Structure 1
Amino acid sequence: MKKTNIAIVALLASTMLVSSCASKKDLVNCQTENRELTANYQDAKEKLAASQARVSSLEDQLAQAKKDYASLQGSLDKSLNNANANNINISKLVDQINESNQYIRHLVEVKSKSDSLNMVLTNNLTRSLSKEEMKEVDVQVLKGVVYISLADNMLYKSGSYEINDRAQETLSKIAKIITDYKDYDVLIEGNTDNVPVNTAAPSMKNIRNNWDLSALRASSVVQYLIDHFGVAPKRLTAGGRGEYNPVASNDTELGKQRNRRTQIIITPKLDQFMDLIDKAPEESNNK
């Protein structure tokens, strides 16, 4: 019996010893796990705080982005409005340019037509003149105007403004050209050299200077064209330029001879060009 009690006591002591060892190991394990959980919790807490800060920053950026978007949208709307207004102005400008281009083309066509008519006129005149007449007649077209220059000795009596018999044939050919081209006006322009007129000569009675002489000679040609060839007076103008429009130097006899001339200037009627100017496209006040 006594041996049995001793055995039981020994067994209980052994069991308590084993239980004590197991509990200590669990405690160590729990402490280790607790430290790990605490570390994980602290790390998660820090990460959460960082995430919240990031979210707050993103929210601020989003709010700023919305403001920037609203500003850009306003600028875009304003630009679109300005673009629409500019498109309207550009459209008007294009219309004005097209009108101006059409007007310019019309002027070019008229100018080309005028040049062509002048060339035909010149050719017709030069073909009608004889070789002898061409020696004393110079025909040119300058800037759309026909200039027929006649030497004074083929038109006037010596030292006078009266038309001579020789001039009739030449003036008849010029009169035909003038009559054929009814849309042209004609200026008869007298010119002299710089030698003073001999006022003592009977033919120069009441003539004060070269200007008087040049004007009277031009008037004589005008009157001759009207009286002998029926040229309409309203188409003719007589003018004198005296010695003040030389084409050569008066220092030589040949130069003086060239300066003593009468020019018949045939030009398109001015009112035709004035009509074209009146038809020019008006500039728009809308800019």
Structure 2
Amino acid sequence: MRKVILALSLVALLTTSCGTKKKIAALESKNKEIQDLLNTCTVKLNTCLTEKESMSSQMEFLKKNNSDLINNMGNMTTLSTKGAQNIEKALETIKEKDLKITRMQDALTKKDSVTLALVTSLKSSVGISDPDIEVNVEKGVVFISIADKLLFKSGSYNVSDRAKEVLAKVAKVINDKPTFECMVEGHTDNVPYVGNGVLIDNWDLSVKRSTAIIRVLTKDLGVKPSQLIAAGRGEYIPLVENNSAENRGRNRRTRIVVLPKIDEFYDMIEKEMKKPAKQ
């Protein structure tokens, strides 16, 4: 009986031991699966952490880049505003300069009109048909050139009677322009002057002829002395070469330069400048 009980106990023990081993094996298998899953999750977690760190760096870069872009946009806006202001100022400056140029041109046009009227008056008064009298304009200045044979005898500074007739016409024009000035220039040829000792050379002769004409204009023809300027140019500004009697005759001349007063011309410009801008 005892043997039977012992045998049954042994069978029961063996049966129990086999069941436990199966459970252990199952648990070990399950544990391995869990461990594999844990390892996989760990790898994924580490990958995610790495990606997160990389994305965080990128986010910081993007934030900084965005901030820089915003600042740059602000700077560009400031620069654009300043640029627009500078362009506007430049355009205003150009407009002002254009206006000044236009007004100066208007003043010059008025001056030219005065000069043209003066030339017309001189030509009609003096008698331009006479080939020994020339009236022309050079650089906005009116010149009356009178050949020496109408004014003086050779080597003399005594004004002839015929010259007084011509000078009377010139005086009329000068008297009609009381604000103008006239410079009387004497010119000679290059033949050395031979005189009585009062004059030294052609330069002296040219000046003396100038003052002789001025005396006729002032004393006989009523021109104000304050309007006249005496000048002698001698032989040094010839019209042509002194290589023939004809050419020397052309170079011996008296030139009357009619000059609007410079300060009046500037006053004319100043008045134009002060005019309000045209709308």
Match of 2:191 in 1: 195
1:245 aligns with 2:237: yes
What is the identity percentage for the equivalent residue pairs of Structure 1 and Structure 2?
35
The separation in 2 between residues aligned to 1:229 and 1:38, in whole angstroms, is 137
Which amino acid counterpart does residue 62 of structure 1 have in structure 2? M
1:199-242 CA-partner distances (Å, limit 9, x unpaired): 24xxxx40111111101111111111111221121111010010
Match of 1:260 in 2: 252
2:115 counterpart (107, 118, 122): 118
1:236 counterpart (228, 239, 248): 228
The separation in 2 between residues aligned to 1:171 and 1:71, in whole angstroms, is 87
Q: What are structure 1's unaligned runs of at least 5 residues?
A: 1-19, 282-287
1:213-272 CA-partner distances (Å, limit 9, x unpaired): 101111111111111221121111010010111111011222211110111111221113
2:61 counterpart (45, 61, 64): 64
1:169 counterpart (165, 170, 185): 165
Match of 2:101 in 1: 104
1:139 aligns with 2:131: no
Change (3 A) 1:176 1:40: farther
The separation in 1 between residues aligned to 2:102 and 2:73, in whole angstroms, is 42
2:49 counterpart (52, 58, 65): 52
The separation in 2 between residues aligned to 1:75 and 1:104, in whole angstroms, is 42
Query: Structure 2 length as normaliser, TM-score?
Result: 0.75
2:156 counterpart (156, 160, 167): 160
Which amino acid counterpart does residue 232 of structure 1 have in structure 2? K
1:210 aligns with 2:202: yes
Q: Secondary structure at the match of 1:166?
A: helix
Change (3 A) 1:182 1:88: farther
| Paired residues of 1:107 and 1:276 also in contact (CA < 8 A) | no
The separation in 1 between residues aligned to 2:32 and 2:126, in whole angstroms, is 132
Which amino acid counterpart does residue 142 of structure 2 have in structure 1? V
Match of 2:8 in 1: none
Q: Matched residue pairs, number?
A: 253
The separation in 2 between residues aligned to 1:162 and 1:87, in whole angstroms, is 74
Query: Structure 1 length as normaliser, TM-score?
Result: 0.73
Q: What are structure 2's unaligned runs of at least 5 residues?
A: 1-18, 274-279
| Paired residues of 2:107 and 2:269 also in contact (CA < 8 A) | no
